[in-house]
Amino acid sequence: MKSKVIKFMNKNYLNESFPLEVRIYMIIYFELLFVSILSATTNTLLGKGTLGVSMQWAVIFFSIITLAASSDFRIKIHKPVVIFISFVYLPFLFFQTAGYEGTAMLFAPLSIFLIAIMFKKKRRIVLVVSAVLVYGACCIVQYYNPGLIVPHAAEIDKLIDLIVALILATTSISIIGVYVINAYEVEEAKIRQLADEDALTGIYNRRKLYEHLTVELEYAKREDVPLRVIMFDLDNFKKTNDTYGHSVGDMVLQHTASVVLNQLRSHDFFARYGGEEFFVVLRNTRMANALSVAERIRAEIENHQYDNGVRATISIGLAVSGRGDSVESLVRRVDEYLYKAKEEGRNRIVSQQE
C-alpha cells in the first residue's frame, strides 16, 4: 500500500519530467496544506476571527480541489497561487489571527522561500523585497492601529497558538529543506552526467575523455605500465550524409556506438571524440589483446546491418603511452596512426610498434 502511494505521488505530483521548481512547489504545497488544516483547526477551536478562519478553510478546500486537477493546470497556476499566499492570504490572516502575537508571521519565511524558488532574476528580487515590505508594513500597522487586529481571547490561547505554530513551522521548514537539498543534488548529478555525455550517442564526450586520459596516464606512469588507446572513424562518412541525409548519418553514429560498446569490457572507456571519430582507452591490456579488440571492432562494424541498407567501415589507429606522454601527445600520436590507416586504403588497423 505504501509503495502504491509513493508511486502515485511520484507520477502525479513529483514526476521527474516536471521542472524542478514545480516539484519543490508541490512538496511545499502538501506541507502548507497539512499546516493549514492544523492551523485552521486550532484557530477554529480557539475562536479566532470568523472571517480569517473562513478564509483558511476556503483556501484548504481550493487546495484539495486543485490536487485533483490535471498536472498542466497545477503548473499553470502555481505562480499565481504563490503570489496570492504571499501578498493576500498571509497578510489577511495576520490581522485576523492576533497579528505578530499570532501564527501567520511565522509562515512568512516559507512564502518568501517559495518566491525565491519560483521566480527568476529581477522579478525574484522585486517580489522578495515586496513581500518583506508587506510583512513589515503589517507589523507597523498593528503597532499604530492595534484595534485592527483580532486578538487572542485569553493568554492560554496565545501560548497554545504559539506552540502549535512553532511545531508546524519548524517541522515544515525541516522537511522542505531536506527535500530541496535532495532534489538539487539529483539535478546536479543529472547536469554532471549530461556534461560528460555525448548527446547523440549517449557515450562519453571529448571533455570526459580528456579528464579520463589525465587520470589514466598518471596511473600508467605511477605503476610503470603502458596505456593503450584506439582511435577510429567511419570511412567516407561525408558521402553517407550526402547520399542518405543527416538523419541517416546520425543513425549510423548511434549504431556504431552501440556495436562497439558490445565489444568492450565494463572497465574499458569509450567516447565520441567528435564528428565521426571515436576513442577507446584500454587499461592493463597487452598489445596482442588490444589488437584483437581493434580487429573485433573493425569486423563487427563492417558486418553490421545498418538501417536503410547502409554499410560502413572504419579505419583504426592504435597507440601505446610512453613515460613522457601528455594527453595531447598521446592523442596526437594515435591520430597519426589513424591517418596512416586511411592513407593505406581504409578499413584497416595501423598500430604503433613496441
Q: How many CB atoms lie within 10 A of CB 181?
A: 10
Q: How many CB atoms lie within 10 A of CB 305?
A: 8
- Provide the angle, in degrees to the nearest 10, between the axes of the packed helices 108-118 and 20-46: 160
The answer to whether residue 276 is catalytic is yes
What is the C-alpha to C-alpha distance for residues 22 and 30, in angstroms, rounded to an integer? Answer: 12
Burial class (CB in 10 A: 0-12, 13-18, 19+), 200: middle
10 to 3, 6, 47, 176, 324: CA distances (angstroms)? 10, 6, 38, 16, 53
With beta carbons less than 8 A apart as the criterion, state whether 285 and 228 touch: yes
* Nine-digit cell string for 298: 573493425
Side chain identity, residue 95: F
Given 187, 216, 276, 344, the catalytic residue: 276
Half-sphere exposure of 195 (CA within 13 A, CB side): 7
Active site residues: 276
